[in-house]
Homo-oligomer: A and B are copies of this chain.
Amino acid sequence: MEMKTEINPWGSMEVKDYAKLRDEFGIQPFEPLLRRLKEPHLLMRRGVVFGHRDFDKIIDAVNRKESYAMMTGLMPSGKFHLGHKILAEQIIYHQQTLGANVFICVADIEAYNMRIDDMEKLREIAINEYLVNYIALGLDPKNCDFYFQSARSRDPDKANAFYRLAGMAAKKVTFNEMKAVYGEITPGKVMSVMTQVADILHPMLPEFGGYKRVVVPVGADQDPHIRLSRDIAARFEKEHKFVLPSSTYHVFIKGLKGGKMSSSDPYSYIALTDDPATAKSKIMKYAFSGGRDTLEEHRKKGGIPEVDVAYQYLYSQFEPDDKKMQQIYDDYKSGALLSGELKQILVEKMEAFLREHAKKREHARKQVDKFLK
Chain B residues near A195: list those with CB within 8 A. 167
Chain B residues near A159: list those with CB within 8 A. 156, 159-160, 163
Q: Once the chains bind, are A150 and B156 in contact (CB under 8 Å)? A: no
Chain B residues near A34: list those with CB within 8 A. none
Query: How many whole Å from A57's CB to the nearest CB in chain B?
Result: 28
Q: Which residue of B lies closest to A163 (CB)?
A: B163
Evaluate whether A119 and B186 lie within 8 angstroms (CB atoms) in the complex, with A156-B154, A159-B163 already known: no
Q: How far is the CA of A339 from the CA of B168 in the complex (A)?
A: 50
Chain B residues near A154: list those with CB within 8 A. 156
Q: How far is the CA of A213 from the CA of B332 in the complex (A)?
A: 72
Q: How far is the CA of A151 from the CA of B205 in the complex (A)?
A: 15
Query: Any chain B CB within 8 A of the CB of A152?
Result: yes
Please encode chain A, from 113 to 137, with 1 for each CB lying within 8 Å of some chain B CB and 0 for all others.
1000101000000000000000000
Chain B residues near A187: list those with CB within 8 A. 170-171, 173-175, 178, 190, 193-194
Query: Any chain B CB within 8 A of the CB of A42?
Result: no
Which of B119, B152, B153, B186 meets A239, CB within 8 Å? B119
Q: Which residue of B lies closest to A191 (CB)?
A: B170
Q: Which residue of B lies closest to A120 (CB)?
A: B239
Please encode chain A, from 137 to 172, with 1 for each CB lying within 8 Å of some chain B CB and 0 for all others.
000000000000111111110011001101110110
Query: Any chain B CB within 8 A of the CB of A112?
Result: yes
By secondary structure, the A interface counts as helix
Query: Any chain B CB within 8 A of the CB of A49?
Result: no
Query: Any chain B CB within 8 A of the CB of A259?
Result: no
Chain B residues near A238: list those with CB within 8 A. 117
Q: How far is the CA of A174 from the CA of B195 in the complex (A)?
A: 19
Chain B CB within 10 Å — which of A163, A192, A193 has the most? A163
Chain B residues near A163: list those with CB within 8 A. 150, 152, 159, 163
Evaluate whether A167 and B112 lie within 8 angstroms (CB atoms) in the complex, with A150-B160, A174-B187, A190-B190 already known: yes
Which of B112, B156, B175, B190 meets A168, CB within 8 Å? B112
Chain B residues near A171: list those with CB within 8 A. 112-113, 117, 187-188
Query: Any chain B CB within 8 A of the CB of A185?
Result: yes
Q: How far is the CA of A326 from the CA of B113 in the complex (A)?
A: 57
Question: Given A117-B238, A155-B156, 17 more contacts at CB 8 Å?
Answer: A113-B167, A113-B170, A117-B239, A119-B168, A119-B239, A150-B168, A153-B160, A156-B156, A156-B159, A159-B163, A166-B191, A167-B195, A170-B186, A170-B187, A173-B187, A175-B186, A191-B194
What are 6 A-B contacts with C-beta separation under 8 Å?
Answer: A119-B239, A149-B167, A170-B188, A171-B188, A175-B186, A191-B191
Query: What 7 A-B pairs have minimum CB-CB distances, sorted nearest first?
Result: A170-B191, A151-B160, A109-B167, A190-B190, A150-B164, A163-B163, A170-B187
